[in-house]
Chain A
Amino acid sequence: DSGVTQTPKHLITATGQRVTLRCSPRSGDLSVYWYQQSLDQGLQFLIHYYNGEERAKGNILERFSAQQFPDLHSELNLSSLELGDSALYFCASSGGQGGNSPLHFGNGTRLTVT
């Protein structure tokens, strides 16, 4: 068990809808990362937060947004959902701001858009 908790485990929704994915990092970890895993794109970095502040953006669509709250949990909001957004969404946490700090991944949220 990595200590990173993601909810919900599965989410099925329709195109055009909005969903929120939640992540609780390991105790004491200040960094939270979001990744999208799909069969055709592999693991794609979306965004990195450190202690409540956005630190880096990757291939995150404008329809997607994230935040990290004072208690360090994070939420990833996906809006105007399209079929192509169906994927596994992983949250990871680390103790530092990155670099050589190991990332610890949760077990993901599987999003299915119908």
Chain B
Amino acid sequence: QQQVKQSPQSLIVQKGGISIINCAYENTAFDYFPWYQQFPGKGPALLIAIRPDVSEKKEGRFTISFNKSAKQFSLHIMDSQPGDSATYFCAASMRLTGGGNKLTFGTGTQLKVEL
């Protein structure tokens, strides 16, 4: 119930194409859904995030679509560029008793954008 399932594990997209990464969760206590981008040798960096009361959020070429009833959310990268080649993690956050916070990550998607 604590898991966040992410697919696909890897993705190859042509330059200019659309990259789509999907995630699903079970626990309705999750209340914040960020996406992180990680380059080799670096830590994950926040890309874009959404709350469950919003169905879509767009920032530049990156869009999150959120389906609360299906407990699914996805990242769309429009006009994918070689510089977007990285590992992408979806995540889900919940507050814990005692005031703590836990961010649960998906297993990651390695995106490669080819010329």
**Interface size of A in residues (CB-CB distance below 8 Å):** 26
Question: With A2-B45, A4-B43, A102-B46 known to touch, is A55 a contact of B100 (CB < 8 Å)?
Answer: yes
**Interface size of B in residues (CB-CB distance below 8 Å):** 27
Q: How many A-B residue pairs have CB under 8 A?
A: 72
Most B C-beta atoms less than 10 A away, residue of A42, A92, A106, A108: A42
Is B102's beta carbon under 8 Å from chain A?
yes
A97 to B107, CA, bound (A): 25
Residues 85-115 of B at the A interface (beta carbon under 8 Å): 89, 93, 95-96, 98-108
Question: With A105-B45, A106-B43 known to touch, is A48 a contact of B100 (CB < 8 Å)?
Answer: yes
- On chain A, the residues within 8 Å of B32 by CB distance are 99-100
Q: Could you list 19 examples of A-B contacts with CB < 8 Å?
A: A42-B108, A43-B89, A43-B108, A50-B99, A50-B100, A55-B96, A90-B43, A92-B43, A97-B99, A98-B103, A100-B31, A100-B49, A100-B51, A100-B93, A102-B34, A102-B49, A103-B46, A107-B41, A107-B43
Which residues of A pack against B, CB within 8 Å?
Answer: 2, 4, 31, 33, 42-43, 45, 48, 50, 55-56, 58, 90, 92, 97-108
